[in-house]
Amino acid sequence: MTRLLHQPDPQLDLVLERIVDVPQELVWKAWTTPEHLKPWFTPAPWKTIDCEIDLGPGGIFRTVMRSPEGQEFPNLGCYLEIVKNEKLVWTNALLPGYRPAPPPAAEVAACGLFLFTAILLFEQHQKGTKYTALVIHKDEAGQKQHEEMGFHEGWGKALDQLVAYMKQH
Amino acid sequence: MTRLLHQPDPQLDLVLERIVDVPQELVWKAWTTPEHLKPWFTPAPWKTIDCEIDLGPGGIFRTVMRSPEGQEFPNLGCYLEIVKNEKLVWTNALLPGYRPAPPPAAEVAACGLFLFTAILLFEQHQKGTKYTALVIHKDEAGQKQHEEMGFHEGWGKALDQLVAYMKQH
């Protein structure tokens, strides 16, 4: 069973909650299959050009994003909890295999790398799926940085892309 | 099924592997029940005076150790993977509920707090249980610090205490 261990903390967490008209199983597929993740994961004109998924506790979740100018940004995460169709948890605070991740170098941090855990909840809903993305940060600075980078717009636009893409697949 | 995602790295990891003449189920009980953890968890004359366990992914694993001089050292961790009787994974790089833990303050780090994940494997063996504790660190400095604190002696002595205690329970 899924369980949510804490209420979101407005100082530390960011939440995107929306009803989407795509079945739960397709939202799951979009998040857990590289082939179906790459087309929607990064708000255009950014692209996700690579993705590696080992869908088990401790498994790798790696993506590479490319900016419109051609700069590449790798992201490396570790899956924590997988409840098929319902809940997916991953973090960049641990490397794959659970090793604590090195703290980001100052110059990397300036490019927006910071530590967080993403808790994704997908619930059946009469209109399709209730989609909740809860992103929990180490501290207020991380939350603020993520918010100012455009969390709500970015994750929201990516979700629009997910919906549009999965309706065709 | 349990799976080990990587071979131990001698520069980053510490391993204690031993056959103990206690059944796998009792080793599990010793690690997952506060009542049965406190008596053995800390090498005497140190004591474990408090323990809180919520045995599920993201659940709390909290202990408080007391030095012979009476100083108290709280430890806060988060369970990652629980395979009954076989595998237990927890880390102090995440707080309970998966929030990335703040990096240790310099003065706390000097007292020995550092980030690691503990992977405990218990396998049935003709003489009892094959016990493997794999502790994986963020970097070589963390591994070295843990080793110099007396990892092998400390975890080994705690395991002796576990065996002696569980034989009576």
- Cis? peptide before B34, omega within 30° of 0: no
Tens of pLDDT, residues A57-116:
999 999 999 999 999 999 999 999 999 999 999 999 999 999 998 766 554 554 445 889
Tokens of B15: 């391993």
Does the global pTM surpass 0.80?
A: yes
Mean pLDDT of chain A: 91
Length of chain A: 169
State whether A137 and B6 contact (CB < 8 Å): no
Tell me which range, A39-48, A133-142, B99-108, is most confidently predicted by mean pLDDT.
A39-48
> Which of residues 15 through 54 in chain B touch A, CB cutoff 8 A?
none
The pLDDT of residue B116 is above 50 = yes
> Which of residues 80 through 99 in chain A touch B, CB cutoff 8 A?
80-81, 89, 91, 93-94, 96-99
The Cα-based distances of B94 to A28, A92, A103, B73, B115 in angstroms read: 25, 11, 13, 18, 9
pLDDT at A112: 47
Question: Which residue of A76, A98, A117 is the best one to mutate when testing the B interface, meaning the one whose CB has the most B CBs within 10 A?
Answer: A98
Tokens of A124: 């059946």
* CA–CA distance, B73 with B111 (Å, rounded to integer): 10
Residues of B in contact with A100 (CB under 8 A): 91, 93, 115-117, 136-138
User: What b-and-e string marks burial along A3-26, b requiring 16 or more CB atoms within 10 Å of the CB?
Assistant: eebbebeeebbbebeeebebbbeb
pLDDT at B110: 47
pLDDT at B19: 98
Contact residues for A87 (Cβ-Cβ < 8 A; gap 6+): A2, A81, A119, A120, A121, A122
CA distance A165 to chain B (A): 30
Mean pLDDT of chain B: 91
Look at A96-100, B96-100, B140-144 and tell me which has the smallest mean pLDDT.
Answer: B140-144
ipTM for the complex?
A: 0.89
Question: What proportion of chain B, given as a percentage, has pLDDT over 90?
Answer: 80
* CA–CA distance, B159 with B114 (Å, rounded to integer): 22
Instruction: Considering only the beta carbons, identify the residue of A56, A91, A119 that sits closest to B100.
Output: A91
Under a CB-based contact definition with an 8 Å cutoff, are residues B80 and A98 in contact?
A: yes
Element containing residue B133 per DSSP (H, E):
strand B128-137
Q: What are phi and psi of B168, to 5 degrees?
A: -100, 0
pLDDT at B108: 54
Tens of pLDDT, residues B81-93:
999 999 999 999 9
**Which residue type sits at B166?**
M
